[in-house]
A = this chain, B = another copy of it.
Amino acid sequence: MIIKTNKLEEFINSLLEQMGVNNLDSQIISDIYIRSTLRNVGHHDIYDLPRRLEMLDKGVINKNPKINLNKSYGSIENYDGDNGLGEVCTSFILERAQKLADSNGIGFCSVYNSNHFLATAPYLEKSAEAGYFTLIWTSARPAIGWPGTRKKIIGNNPMGYSTPTNSDPMFLDISMAHDSVGNLKDKMEKEKQLSPLTAVDKEGNYTENPLEALEGGSLPIGGHKGVGLSILGELLTTVMGNGIMIDQKSKYESSKPDINFYDQMVIIIKPDVFMSEKEYLDRVDILTNFIRDKKSSLRIPGEKSNETKKRLKKEGIQLEMKLINTLNEWAVKYKMPFSL
Contact = CB atoms under 8 A, between A and B. Distances in A.
Contacts of A283: 239, 245
Interface stretch (A24-32, A58-66, A286-294): A286-294
B280 A172 contact: no
Contacts of A150: 295
A228 B174 CA distance: 9
When all copies of this chain in the complex are counted, the total is 2
B287 A231 contact: yes
A274 B172 contact: no
A173 to B, nearest CB: 9
Interface string A270-313: 11011100001001101101110101111111000000000000
A147 B301 contact: no
Interface residues of A, number: 74
A269 B234 CA distance: 15
| A contact face: mostly helix, strand, loop, or mixed | mixed
Nearest to A231: B301
B280 A133 contact: no
Contact of A75 (B74, B241, B286, B289): B74
B293 A151 contact: yes
A287 B245 contact: yes
Contacts of A270: 73, 76
A319 interface: no
Nearest to A271: B240
A222 B224 contact: no
A297 B147 contact: yes
Given A76-B269, A246-B286, 20 more contacts: A73-B105, A73-B273, A74-B103, A74-B104, A74-B105, A76-B104, A76-B270, A78-B274, A106-B107, A146-B298, A148-B295, A151-B293, A153-B291, A221-B225, A221-B226, A231-B291, A231-B301, A245-B290, A247-B286, A250-B290
Interface of A: 70-76, 78, 103-108, 110, 133, 146-151, 153-154, 161, 163, 170, 172, 174, 178, 204, 221-222, 224-229, 231-232, 234-235, 239-242, 245-247, 250, 267, 269-271, 273-275, 280, 283-284, 286-287, 289-291, 293, 295-301
22 contacts: A71-B275, A72-B105, A73-B105, A76-B269, A76-B270, A106-B106, A147-B296, A148-B296, A149-B293, A154-B290, A172-B225, A172-B228, A172-B231, A172-B232, A221-B222, A224-B299, A224-B301, A227-B301, A231-B300, A235-B287, A241-B274, A245-B287
